[in-house]
Amino acid sequence: MPESLDAPPIMGNVPGSYALGVFRDRHPVLLRQVREALPYTPDRLAALDRLDDEVARDVMEPLDASAHDFAAWAEWGRDKLGRRWVDVPFLWGEVYFYRKLLDATGYFGDGPWRGVDPFGPVKQAELLGAAVDDELAALDKAGTLPRDERAKALLLGSLWGNRADLSFQVTLTGEREHVAELVVDDSALLWSLVRDRPPGKICVLADNAGRELMPDLILIDHLLAEGLATEVVLHVKPHPYFVSDATPADVVACLRRLAAAPGRAGEVGGRLWRAMGDGRLTLRAHPFSCAPLPYRDMPGDLRDELASASLTITKGDLNYRRLVGDQVWPPTTPFAAVTAYFPGPVVALRTLKSDALVGLDEHTLAELDATGEPWRTTGTHAMIQARS
Q: Note the residues at the interface with ligand F1X (CB under 6 A).
A: 22, 26, 94, 162, 165, 167-168, 207-208, 242, 316-318, 321, 353-354
Give me the least distance between CB of 198 and ligand F1X, in Å please. Answer: 32
In this complex, which beta carbon is closest to ligand F1X, that of residue 89 or of residue 316? 316
In this complex, which beta carbon is closest to ligand F1X, that of residue 80 or of residue 321? 321
In this complex, which beta carbon is closest to ligand F1X, that of residue 316 or of residue 345? 316
Q: How far apart are CA 80 and CA 265, in angstroms?
A: 47
Q: How far apart are CA 203 and CA 15, in angstroms?
A: 38
Give me the least distance between CB of 258 and ligand F1X, in Å please. Answer: 21
Give me the least distance between CB of 35 and ligand F1X, in Å please. Answer: 17
Spatial CA neighbour of 313 closest among 159, 154, 150, 148 = 159
In this complex, which beta carbon is closest to ligand F1X, that of residue 166 or of residue 360? 166
Q: Output phi, psi for 370, to 5 deg.
A: -70, -20
- Pair 285, 89: CB distance under 8 Å: no
- Pair 384, 335: CB distance under 8 Å: no
Q: Where are the alpha helices (DSSP H) in 308-349?
A: 317-323, 335-338
In this complex, which beta carbon is closest to ligand F1X, that of residue 94 or of residue 103? 94
Identify each DSSP E strand in the chain by its residue range.
181-185, 200-205, 229-235, 281-284, 311-315, 346-351, 381-387
Question: Cα–Cα distances in Å, from 45 out to 23, 52, 95, 127, 372?
Answer: 20, 10, 21, 27, 42
Report strand pairing: 200-205 vs 229-235. parallel
Handedness of CA 318, 324, 325, 331 (dihedral sign): negative
- Pair 165, 212: CB distance under 8 Å: yes
Give me the least distance between CB of 278 and ligand F1X, in Å please. Answer: 31
In this complex, which beta carbon is closest to ligand F1X, that of residue 160 or of residue 168? 168
Give me the least distance between CB of 170 and ligand F1X, in Å please. Answer: 7
Give me the least distance between CB of 242 and ligand F1X, in Å please. Answer: 5
In this complex, which beta carbon is closest to ligand F1X, that of residue 55 or of residue 261? 55
276 burial via Cβ count (<10 Å: 0-12, 13-18, 19+): middle
In this complex, which beta carbon is closest to ligand F1X, that of residue 208 or of residue 310? 208
Number of neighbouring beta carbons within 10 Å of residue 379: 25
Give me the least distance between CB of 65 and ligand F1X, in Å please. Answer: 28
In this complex, which beta carbon is closest to ligand F1X, that of residue 297 or of residue 304? 297
Give me the least distance between CB of 351 and ligand F1X, in Å please. Answer: 7
Give me the least distance between CB of 137 and ligand F1X, in Å please. Answer: 25
Handedness of CA 81, 84, 87, 93 (dihedral sign): positive
Cross-strand pairs, 102: none
Cross-strand pairs, 237: none
